[in-house]
Amino acid sequence: MPRRRVRMSPAARAWYLAEVRYLADKNKAAAARVVDMMRTARVNLSEHPELGRVGLIPGTRQLLVGPYVLTTRRVGNVVEIAAIRSTRQGDATHSLATIRPR
């Protein structure tokens, strides 16, 4: 099976970078673990784009990656990480509001 490209939406990338910066200020090892988890998730999604359960918005999926939930969708041959949130956050509505149907 060919690998697919995996990209982050601008909102997901901004959230991820802010989270890594926050963690790096508190605990560099924790930040490195998050970077490794995300790298592994991207490889897994490139090989298996249907990972995770069906999402709340049609055409999306939700993948649990450590303490984070990634909302993904297929856009052509690309897997897009549309939103990321912490599992400690209650309702994901604020993250999902940025996802526009394709």
C-alpha–C-alpha distance, residues 86 and 2, integer Å: 30
Whether residue 100 is predicted with pLDDT greater than 60 in this model: the reply is no
pLDDT attached to residue 88? 80
**Region 93-97: what's the mean pLDDT?**
48
Give residue limits of the domains in the chain: 5-96
Question: pLDDT tens, 36-54?
Answer: 999 999 999 999 999 999 9
Q: What residues have CB less than 8 Å from 59, skipping those under 6 apart?
A: 73, 74, 101, 102
**Region 95-100: what's the mean pLDDT?**
52
pLDDT attached to residue 93? 46
Q: How confident is the model at residue 94 (pLDDT cuts 50, 70, 90)?
A: very low
| CATH fold for domain 5-96 | YaeB-like fold (3.30.2310)
